[in-house]
Amino acid sequence: MNSYSENLHSSVLASLESQEMNQKKLDSQLNSSMFTLYYAEGAEIVTDNKLELATKKYNQAQTVKEQAVKTKNISTNIVMSATQQNTNTLQSVSNGAVSAANIQIATNAIVRLASDMGSIFSIINAADYGTQIYQQSIEAYNLMNRTAYLAEVASQHAMEASAAIAEVSSSTVQDKAKATDTSISNLLQVSSTNFTTTAAIVAADNDAKAAASVNTKAAQGIIESNKVELEAAKVAYLLNNKSLNYNLRVNVPKIYNNSYEVSFNYFKAPFKTDEKGTNTPQLGLDNPVKSYNLFLVKDSKKSFFSASAAEELLINPLQHIQILPSDGTAVKTDLSTSKTILSNYKTRFQAINNLRASQQKAIEAKDNLSKANVALALATKEKSDADTAVNNTKNNITRLTKELETAKQNTAKAAEAAKKNPDDKDLAKTSAQAARDQDTIERSLNIATLTETEAIDFQKVATDNLKAENTNAAKAENELLEAQKLVATNETNLKTAEAAFKEKKDVFKTINILDLVDTDNEVIVLGEKYVIFLLTVFTDEYKKGINTYDDYLSAPSETFSLKKTVNAVKDINIVQEPEKKDTTKIGLPTLSPFAVNFAVNKDDKSITEYRCMFLPYKEKDFTKNDLDNFEESIQETILKKEIETVENEITQYETELESIKDKNKDPKDQLDKPLNKKQESPDSSNKEKLNNEIENTKNQSNSYNLVEIETNSKLEIALTKLNHLYIGLEKMYSQKTAEIKNTKAFFFNQKLAENVPSGNYTVAAPTSNDPLVYEVKIDPATTDNFGNSLIDNRLYIPVILSYYKGSETNRKQYNNNLSDWENEESFTFSIANNQKILIN
């Protein structure tokens, strides 16, 4: 290899190696920023939960304080009233005692007067009995006796009133009111302190949430920046690899199938065959390459692999894959080939779009079927309940009808017995009771008849609903089958489009792992890192023509490794209640849902650990997903507008070409006529005239030819640009964020799931009924993926990580897999019969 080739090869190696190392560095930075964002979002969720709990406590403390203030106001009024009452009571006791004493004095005077009146009446009775004075004295005597009696009664009441007033414990009431007021004051002070403390906690939690939100946004900005840098580095590597390294690439299938795919561009000769001189011998430019040879090299040994080592391995057919070039690979691509490539791009692009659309429809159809099955189960239960209700009412009517017949007989017998013995009260009571029993049964029978009518109506409605839901479920199932068929059809169409696309591209080679061993003569090992080298062997004619007799060894491809992938869990079922309720836990809080379960692959379960995590799901105003969709829509609009513009240019150039060809056709026809005349005419003057005519016609034709060449060149450039635009649009669609249900979820992916601590997930276990159905029960110790206890009345998304649980040696041969959590149904966690209260 000459010094120029050596320097060029070294520069290519250094450039690609530097860019690959930069990619790895940026990938590490992206992973680091990804974890930073994840934990920042976790901290924001925790602070949000704390703020919500603190806000609840704040509202409670505010209510308690307001009630304490109201109670304090009432207590103050009570103390004032009790004090006033005590003062009034003491005054009343004094006034009552004085009044009782005065009344007693008056009573004593009246009694003495009555005694004197009695003496006077005795004298008059003895001396003047029957006279007028006697009559007056007896009236006075009676009035006086009554007055004395009333005075004694008044005195008695006064003494009782005085005693009753003295018994009123106003001072005790006052003391208790003061003590209560003191307690209320203390309660107000405590509630005020608690309110102030809680308000401070709310303020602190609010600040913490704001700080956590700022950290989250900063982390989002960093990860966006790192993603942009990594994408830029990848694009730079791809461009350099395409320009400097044959566009050598290795495509590893997502699902391991014992093979991988290598693609590269054919070697393009630096000079074209029409650029050599007339007398210059052929340089082998038409077919400069004798063969292309692929080598598998361990990543750890790629720096030691050289062209001489590759040439030595050419003798072993298992250590290299030889690809012979097709005819004319060095010839410049013509316009028809460009159009074919463009057509293949469009077909492939349309096939990708159709597949994505059908996959989205399949997801929606699956979701609709799930909802239809839930509605069908509910309708089935309602129909069953309605049937049971109808049967119960019919049985009840049958029973009541029999009881009514018996009651009528008993009533008739009791009435007959009472009629025969009208004086027997017991028989009369029995007859009346029998009549009342009959009336009660008749009313119950009437109610049962009405209930039966309602139950039959409800049964009819339930039957109609069940039919409708059966129809909906069958329709949803058919739609899912149709959607799945469409997905299968579009997958086949995409494979066909891919095959046609690859035929017009340079080289796509599918290599079975047994068809190519590495340079150490060892079969490829799963999980090990490898690279591919391409050795281009030139023809002897071409080597002689360029005076360089070395073959060319490419730089290594990007590092790759083959791994098996465990199957992801697809259908996660939420179990709201256990089949059998635990009677020993009656009165204890009941958690809902009870568990989650899912079916597993029988071939995977022996090597797979199923880790269940619950992601808190709380909708916010604007998320990263919204931003991604917004950016994607702008990029898509711009690319589609550019494609439309370039397609219009291509149409214009094609129209111009057709017009130029039509115009150039006439000068060519005219050129043939003078040439024929020139050959036929012997006259020299005519020949000179014909020569001038021929020259003018040639010039005109050449002008048209130049315009045609220029237009062809513009058309070729436009077609190439359109190809690149379609590549960009296709790449954007391949990286486009798919339409998902849980658009408001936080940042989460498989790498993060693999690093969730063991205390924050639950390992699923097989159920007793079916070993292929695994279950995770939810209990008070269950936490979310951040380690926080599940919160009542919050939404959570169940996520299952299928994690290879084999030996550490074999672990690198497997890829783990995460369930489609972005489209998984969320559930609301709830706690029934919860006796807990919020405390500080």
Each residue's pLDDT tens digit, 479-497: 889 988 888 898 888 878 7
Each residue's pLDDT tens digit, 772-816: 899 999 988 899 988 888 888 888 999 999 999 888 888 889 999
Task: Examine residue 495 and state whether it is found in any structural domain, yes or no.
Answer: no
Quote the CA–CA distance of 245 and 267 in Å, as a whole number. Answer: 10
Task: Examine residue 493 and state whether it is found in any structural domain, yes or no.
Answer: no
Task: Examine residue 549 and state whether it is found in any structural domain, yes or no.
Answer: yes
Query: Does residue 151 have a pLDDT over 50?
Result: yes
Residues 615 and 634 reside in one and the same domain: no
Mean pLDDT of 202-208: 87
More confident residue, 270 or 64: 64
331: left (phi over 0), alpha (psi -120 to 50) or beta: beta
Domain that holds residue 384: 365-480
Quote the CA–CA distance of 743 and 823 in Å, as a whole number. Answer: 9
Segment holding 615, helix H or strand E: strand 608-617
pTM assigned to the model: 0.65
Quote the CA–CA distance of 325 and 264 in Å, as a whole number. Answer: 12
Confidence of residue 727 (pLDDT cuts 50, 70, 90): low
Query: Does residue 87 have a pLDDT over 90?
Result: no
Confidence of residue 123 (pLDDT cuts 50, 70, 90): confident
Residues 280 and 390 reside in one and the same domain: no
Task: Examine residue 512 and state whether it is found in any structural domain, yes or no.
Answer: yes
* Contacts with 558 (C-beta within 8 Å, 6 or more apart), sequence order: 20, 237, 241, 249, 250, 531
* Contacts with 170 (C-beta within 8 Å, 6 or more apart), sequence order: 82, 85, 86, 88, 89, 90
Mean pLDDT of 413-439: 84
Residue 621 is predicted with a pLDDT of 41
Q: Which of 681, 716, 735 is the last residue of a domain?
A: 735
CATH number, position 281 = 2.60.40.10
Residues 676 and 810 reside in one and the same domain: no
Q: Which of 202, 219, 236 is the last residue of a domain?
A: 219
Q: Within 252-334, where are the H helices?
A: 307-312
Residue 709 is predicted with a pLDDT of 74
Task: Examine residue 468 and state whether it is found in any structural domain, yes or no.
Answer: yes
Residues 549 and 615 reside in one and the same domain: no
Task: Examine residue 238 and state whether it is found in any structural domain, yes or no.
Answer: no
Q: What percent of the chain has pLDDT over 70?
A: 82
Task: Examine residue 401 and state whether it is found in any structural domain, yes or no.
Answer: yes
Residues 403 and 433 reside in one and the same domain: yes
Query: Which residue carries 């779009």 as its tokens?
Result: 353
User: How much is the CA Rg of the chain, to the nearest whole Å?
Assistant: 52
Asked if residue 771 lies in contact with residue 391, where contact means CB atoms within 8 angstroms, the answer is no
More confident residue, 786 or 278: 786
Task: Examine residue 85 and state whether it is found in any structural domain, yes or no.
Answer: yes
Mean pLDDT of 592-618: 88
Short-list 347, 329, 256, CA closest to 289: 329
Q: Which of 428, 462, 480 is the last residue of a domain?
A: 480
Residues 707 and 800 reside in one and the same domain: no
Residue 740 is predicted with a pLDDT of 63
Mean pLDDT of 541-550: 80
Residue 522 is predicted with a pLDDT of 93
Confidence of residue 739 (pLDDT cuts 50, 70, 90): low
Residue 330 is predicted with a pLDDT of 44
Residues 96 and 199 reside in one and the same domain: yes
Asked if residue 715 lies in contact with residue 335, where contact means CB atoms within 8 angstroms, the answer is yes
Residue 670 is predicted with a pLDDT of 56
Please give the span between the terminal C-alpha atoms of the chain, in angstroms, as a whole number: 81
Q: In what order do the strands lie in the sheet with 552-553?
A: 321-323, 289-298, 530-538, 552-553
Mean pLDDT of 587-608: 84
Residues 789 and 665 reside in one and the same domain: no
Task: Give the CB-side neighbour count of residue 820, counting CA atoms within 13 A.
Answer: 11
Task: Give the CB-side neighbour count of residue 163, counting CA atoms within 13 A.
Answer: 6
Asked if residue 61 lies in contact with residue 216, where contact means CB atoms within 8 angstroms, the answer is no
CATH number, position 75 = 1.10.287
Residue 307: Cβ-neighbour burial (10 angstroms; 0-12, 13-18, 19+): middle
Each residue's pLDDT tens digit, 124-148: 888 888 788 888 888 888 888 888 8
Query: Does residue 576 have a pLDDT over 90?
Result: no
Domain count, the chain: 5
Residues 583 and 666 reside in one and the same domain: no
Residues 127 and 268 reside in one and the same domain: no
Burial 783-822 (b: 16+ CB within 10 A, else e): ebbbebebeeebbbbbbbbbbbeeeeeeeebbbbbbbbbb
Residues 441 and 407 reside in one and the same domain: yes
Query: Does residue 336 have a pLDDT over 80?
Result: no
Quote the CA–CA distance of 47 and 51 in Å, as a whole number. Answer: 6
Query: Which residue carries 């489609």 as its tokens?
Result: 820
Average pLDDT, the chain: 81
Each residue's pLDDT tens digit, 510-525: 899 999 999 999 999 9
Q: What type of residue sits at position 712?
A: N
Residues 106 and 136 reside in one and the same domain: yes
Residue 126 is predicted with a pLDDT of 82
Residue 731 is predicted with a pLDDT of 61
Dihedral in degrees, nearest 10, Cα atoms 678, 679, 683, 689 = 10
Residue 301 is predicted with a pLDDT of 93
Query: Does residue 360 have a pLDDT over 70?
Result: yes
Residue 673 is predicted with a pLDDT of 54
Mean pLDDT of 446-460: 90
